[in-house]
Structure 1
Amino acid sequence: MIPEKQDSWHADPKKDLGEVLVLRPEEGHDFYQPVPANGQISIRIAPGFVRLQSPFSLGTQTLPPAGYVREHSHPEHDEVIHFIRGTGKAVVDGEEHPVEPGVTIFVGRNRRHMFINNSQDELHWLWFIQPNGLETFFEEIGREVVPGQPDPTPFARPDNVLEIERRTAFALPPAIPYQPD
């Protein structure tokens, strides 16, 4: 007689429970970003915050009018961008896509992409990347948001930005990068 296969979830649900983390809006790790993006990043989930079954990071980014995230790619990472507020455009492998609240874009590894705020309002999105690494990049190139302190933007990217990119989540920059209008 073959014994019944037990569903591991029902066998002992307390044996292998993952963590729970609830962050209030003010509890992320927030950083101002240098030119050309400017704006802010809020890192919400990353391996340093909570134990993860599979390493990833998640956060939000806000671009002011005329800000843009320069063209780049991630050699080992899948990324999802979900637009929450504002309008602008995404450029993926040279093809322009209008973005607005509710648009979601999946960008697989080695796909060149950038985001441009060509409107008069802030452009705000949620990002997810797996494996993680993007959060370390944002921390190292940015300046921590300190409540009550003034916004330091615009400020230059660090001189060693290419080294930071290389060891976090970025491929080498494109030889001829896409330039926003």
Structure 2
Amino acid sequence: MTVADSSSGVLHVPPGEGLVKWMSGDILTFKATGAETGGSLAFLEVVVPPGGGPVAHLHPHSDEAFFLIDGALEFLDGDRTFVAEPGSFVYVPRNHRHRFKNLEKTDARMVFLFTPAGPEDLFLEGADDPIPGQRPGNWTPERFARLAPIVERTGDIMVPEL
């Protein structure tokens, strides 16, 4: 259940609240969407299971920033990689190829934002609704292929690693 109050102009989403979606094994909790911020930003809390994370991609119209809370994630920065640990902040400017991947044996947890909002529409429209009592599974290439129309509309570009 999502409880968000923006009647005064301030958006407040209490702990444990927000719209939840599953994408490729990751658990996404939307704390703010472009629809709720007038397009200014989107803000999500994400649990990335071992082996989880997106394919390399770039956002032509939005910057992205990450703050790692728990675990460790390997980030791709163009052609190089580095590991972000708890307390790490990562800023990715628009049009920059990136991805993150959990190479550990435990879940990683982070928050991230897009500014301006927009790329989160891929998750809102293309991700799966959670099934109570279960954890999300990894997606097949066929499942990813169903995102193609949304990816094209949002303008994001997938740039897989070779």
Give TM-score scaled by structure 2 length. Answer: 0.84
Deviation string, structure 1 residues 59-106 (Cα, Å, up to 9, x no partner): 111110111221000011111111111012101101111111111111
Per the alignment, residue 160 of structure 1 pairs with 146
Per the alignment, residue 23 of structure 2 pairs with 33
* 1:135 equivalent among 120, 123, 126: 120
The one-letter amino acid of 2:62's match is H
Instruction: Give the share of equivalent positions with the same residue, in percent.
Output: 24
The runs of at least 4 consecutive aligned structure 1 residues that moved more than 6 Å come to: none
Per the alignment, residue 33 of structure 2 pairs with 46
Looking at CA atoms only, which structure, 1 or 2, has the larger radius of gyration?
1
- Residues 25 and 134 of structure 1: is their aligned pair in 2 closer, same or farther, counting only changes over 3 Å? farther
Residues 83, 104 of structure 1: 8 Å contact kept: yes
Per the alignment, residue 20 of structure 1 pairs with 10
- How many residues are aligned here? 153
**1:151 match: secondary structure:** coil
Residues 77, 169 of structure 1: 8 Å contact kept: no
Distance in 1, matches of 2:146 and 2:105, equals: 32
**1:137 match: secondary structure:** helix
1:27-106 equivalent positions in 2, closer than 5 A: 27-34=17-24, 38-49=25-36, 51-52=37-38, 55-106=40-91
Could you tell me how far 1:169 is from its partner in structure 2?
4.9
Give TM-score scaled by structure 1 length. Answer: 0.76
RMSD, aligned CA:
1.9
Deviation string, structure 1 residues 99-123 (Cα, Å, up to 9, x no partner): 1111111111110001010001111
Gaps of 5+ in 1: 1-17
- Residues 169 and 26 of structure 1: is their aligned pair in 2 closer, same or farther, counting only changes over 3 Å? farther
Deviation string, structure 1 residues 103-159 (Cα, Å, up to 9, x no partner): 11111111000101000111111111112122211122211235x343342344353
